[in-house]
Structure 1
Amino acid sequence: MTSLWSMVDFDGHEDVHFFSDAQSGLRAIIAIHSTYRGPAAGGVRYWHYADDEAALKDALRLSRGMSYKNAMADLPMGGGKGVMLAPEAGAPKMPDMLAAFGRAIGTLGGRYVTAEDVGMSEADMLAIGRETRHVSGLPVVSGAAGGDPGLYTAQGVFLGIKAAVARALGREDVRGVHVAVQGVGSVGGGVARLLAAEGAQLTLADVDDAKAAVFATELGAAHVPASEILAVKADVVSPNALGAVLDEASIAALNAPVVAGGANNQLATPEDAQRLHARGILYAPDYVINAGGIINVALEYLGAGGRSAVMERIAGIPTRLTRIWAESEATGAPAGDVADVMARELIGRA
């Protein structure tokens, strides 16, 4: 494996921890990027990676993104991320594995707070929470913060799309606006429902093509294969699946004036921010538009308010995006780069 310190995605991370538990089969990585603003908050994903280096790369990229996301959302939290390595695609999570991950978190003494990410559920958080109190995204009663963060992420992305449509298209609503949605899971599906409720025209795609087809029928939307969605002629392309989908080739093929979606780490390389900018495509930096979920679980963990407080903070996402776009227009710098500069200042790394 490449040396950790020489990896492109190593960005002065404070801690990178590798855990294994022979009895349960747990193999996991927890990367802590920054605790400058508070404990490192970020979910854990359960995924089958091609190799260990791919898992480490994901943990490094995602934890850095969480530092930026939490800072830009004005949360008193740092950035971290966990990945649990599935032994093979589709392998189930065992209860002993979740318990072992909870104990692993406990050894960090509160420096890392976990929650749901890809492949994880509220029930999994309950299992982890039996071993550590440094967990959020737990089931809640009506009106309280917490629970599945995907719905809150979707709400923020929806508001961000509306802000992008207003800026790029001069439209005050999304009625008749064509949005191509990549991924119809917890976040993408939630975004699609909110858009459909306000009269948007939708084209959907997912790696599970049958799922996308059924969902499209339910919403009265079109659907295309996952390999075609980014090139659909639309007003907005909304990536809501896994990261690194915007690269030199896919950006060249984009046929929409706006990219705004909930996937983490949408840009494959830092240079891709400039590629979007050069094409005149309005880009909503992912860790700004998709902050709704972490706002929810952070307020739950901190005991800083219920659902109404969460929604009030999420309502600030369009304002933050507008500030980034205005700075980008004034300076000529890509929106992604503008957001990165702002975020680094907020975590003491200007």
Structure 2
Amino acid sequence: MYSALSADKTGFPNPQQESLGGRVQGWIDRQLTVGALQNSCPYASQIGSCIELPLYQWCSDYFVKLGQNVYFGDILHGINPELPDTFLEFDEQIWKMLYSYPYFLSRGMSKARSQVIQSLKMYFEAPQSQRRDQAAWLINTMEDEIKALGIDDDNLAILVFHLYFAINTNTRKTVFWMLTYLLHDPALLRVYRKEVEPAFNGSRLVDPFYIQDAAKCAQVNAIWHETLRLSGWSASIRLIKQDTVIGGKFMCKGNRVLVPHRLLHFDSRIFGEDTHSFRHERWLQSDLGRSPSWRPFGGGKTMCSGRFLARFSVTTFVATLLRRFDIEMVGDPPFPRADEGRPVLGIMSIKEGEDFKIRLSPRPVF
């Protein structure tokens, strides 16, 4: 039977006071260098001192590895070095699960999902002494409490799979879209780089929370919101518990109501003209973020609990990238088309074949 945890229980909450944000910042600091990119990105090309990468592939690979390392440490990589690629294979086909495709039409998605769950099971079967010091407090505590309820490793792995999915499915796509919009507007890219300068000492980020302060980094805040508005594909589903009338429509008990937030985000009565254009200035000097039509992370009990860490991760990564590298598109690729026809649980993917290459050139030492 479930019982609430005592507030003074040993080890609760987070006795080491180690923040997930600190883990994210440390990983980005170590893994966003020329040497680290050369070692971890086999799909990259070295041209002189520059590195060329396919942006969507890189953002996906980088952020799944980041999320995995921040929450689980290096152990999962040792168990299955191909786990990020396997997860991405599942994540890019998740629409088949949402549409309840039969197994014979979704073997690739189902196989990838099973492989991720199996890797997580092997992680929890490893001796705790080998992994607890590396894992985030959240993972260790979840394991202890779930096992205390008598749940075995098979079901523990399935439960944690949903967390692994939530950690990794949307940040990778959000950072891709943010960088894409910045690359197509070099003046705005320079604005972002300039505004975050006070958070750095040389190439090192020393005050990450400066970037999260909307009063100090209003442009970054607006760019973040506009990226979510244009790239989001989230929806809420609510069960009708009794017959009711909403807006003149009769709703029958037992049915479900689907609220597609993407449609709300394109309402010109709320967000102004040109709702299909990236205009970050619409968020400056306005209360749009408080509008009931603004639902990038869902709402109510199902609102995304990781929204603050997601923003921290994306904006910190982009700030550090622009501080350490000059970034440009290779050639003159068209703006990538979003895969609007396939449902996802958050941020849209791109259509197949729409990825494009970028060139990273190390900036002078400060």
TM-score range, shorter chain: under 0.3
Task: Considering Cα pairs closer than 8 Å and 6+ residues apart, tell me whether 1 or 2 has the greater RCO.
Answer: 2
Q: TM-score, normalised by structure 2?
A: 0.26
Greater gyration radius: 2
Scaled by the length of structure 1, what TM-score is found?
0.27
Q: Which has the higher helix share?
A: 2
Structure number with higher strand proportion? 1
